[in-house]
């Protein structure tokens, strides 16, 4: 099991993005816990569907913020989101066919989340702060 808990290193300092990221951490933790409990395939697939649907929602939410501020790396960030959704679909398929354990998906999701939030999303929030500072001048 991955011992994933919310950590301040995942905070990007945005009032909408941080709470959504907390949900992601909770979902990843749940996937890991269910893998450890050896949950049913149906439960695992439903949980993975929840992760995918939440990821879609969160990515659209983040991308709307990017459009609102004219984020210069919008297309690159959006493409990263699209890549993750494709990869999540691939990893879910591997689980479904028995080619990868559920714990593998939990590790994949956590590794991606930790890197994406601490690098890509931090750049976005820095740009939001700069945009807001200019708007207040």
Q: Please state, as a whole number, how many other Cβ atoms lie within 10 Å of the Cβ of residue 101.
A: 14
pLDDT by residue for the chain (137 residues), tens only, comes to 677 888 888 888 788 998 999 999 999 999 999 999 999 999 999 999 999 999 999 999 999 999 999 999 999 999 999 999 999 999 999 999 999 999 999 999 999 988 888 888 888 888 888 888 887 76
Residue 82 lies in a domain: yes
pLDDT of 12 reads 80
What's the gap between Cα 95 and its chain centre?
19
Which residues span the domain enclosing 67? 16-135
Residue 55 lies in a domain: yes
CATH code, domain with 29: 1.20.120.50
Question: Positive or negative CA dihedral for 42, 45, 51, 55?
Answer: negative
Residue 50 lies in a domain: yes
Question: Which pair of structure tokens corresponds to residue 37?
Answer: 């409990």
- The domain tally of the chain equals 1
Residue 6 lies in a domain: no
Residue 4 lies in a domain: no
Residue 2 lies in a domain: no
pLDDT digits (tens, 9 = 90+) for 82-104: 999 999 999 999 999 999 999 99
Q: What is the pTM of this model?
A: 0.89
């Amino acid at each position: 099991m991955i011992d994933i808990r919310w950590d301040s290193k995942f905070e990007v300092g945005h009032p909408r993005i941080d709470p959504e990221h907390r949900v992601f951490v909770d979902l990843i933790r749940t996937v890991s816990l269910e893998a450890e409990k050896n949950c049913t395939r149906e439960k695992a697939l439903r949980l993975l569907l929840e992760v995918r649907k939440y990821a879609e929602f969160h990515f659209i939410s983040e991308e709307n913020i990017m459009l609102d501020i004219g984020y210069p790396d919008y297309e690159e960030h959006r493409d990263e989101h699209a890549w993750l959704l494709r990869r999540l679909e691939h990893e879910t398929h591997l689980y479904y066919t028995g080619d990868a354990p559920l714990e593998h998906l939990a590790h994949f999701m956590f590794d991606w989340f930790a890197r994406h939030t601490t690098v890509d999303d931090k750049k976005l929030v820095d740009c939001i702060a700069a945009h807001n500072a200019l708007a207040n001048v």
